[in-house]
Structure formats: structure tokens, C-alpha cells
Amino acid sequence: MEHTEQVSHESDCHHDAGHGYLDHKDEYLRRLKRIEGQARGLQRMVDEEQYCIDILTQVSAMTKALEALALAMLDEHLSHCVVRAARAGGDEAEEKLREASQAIARLVRS
């Protein structure tokens, strides 16, 4: 069995210091459970051979929900982790800004 290690980029924004999103963790979990339900609903629609436009409408709704979650998480990251690193300055600040920029680029491309 192959063991994969999850890479973490949290030098100054680790659990002990508190990820920015922890203040809203329950809200994010509710959103994710709703998105999970949407995914199950899409599977059911395909299984029941529902009309393709109805399925596409639900895909769009799920996509918007994921985008809203991603933007909220990005905002949390910027206002907590990036601000904290910027105040500290140095290489850490550069790295957090680079991470944020890369995250934004991924969201724009998706």
C-alpha cells in the first residue's frame, strides 16, 4: 500500500496559530456538505437519465457553490495568513504572496 504525504504550506499559519478559516469552520463544513449533496443529486439525475439541460443546470449551481467556497477561503487566507506573514516580512511574506497569487491564478483558470 502506497503512503502519500500531504504537502502543507503553513509555515506561520499552522493549526496552533489558527488558520483564518477556523472561525467559520462550521459554515464551511455546511457548505461542503451541501455541495456533496449536489454531487449525489447529479449522480442520481444521470442514473435516472434525466434531461441533459436539467443536469447542466445543476452542474452550474454546484460550480457556483464551489467557486463561492473557494473565494471565501481565499479571502480568509489573505486576511489572516498573508497579512500575518506580511507583518513579519522577509522570505515568509514573499512565499505567502506567491502562494496567494498562484491560488488566484488556479481559480481564474478553472
Could you tell me the three cell numbers for 83?
Answer: 497579512
Amino acid identity, position 25: K
In 1-110, the DSSP E strands lie at: none
Domain that holds residue 39: 24-109
Residue 8 scores a pLDDT above 80: no
Residue 45 within a domain? yes
Q: Other CB atoms closer than 10 Å to residue 85's CB: what's the count? A: 22
Q: Which of 106, 93, 27 is nearest to 65 (CA)?
A: 27
CATH number at residue 89: 1.20.58.1000
Query: Considering the entire predicted model, what is its pTM?
Result: 0.74
- Tens digits of per-residue pLDDT, 53-69? 999 999 999 999 999 99
Among the listed residues 96, 62, 57, the one whose alpha carbon sits nearest the alpha carbon of residue 79: 96
Is there a domain that residue 10 lies in? no
Q: What pLDDT score was predicted for residue 18? A: 59
The total number of structural domains in the chain stands at 1
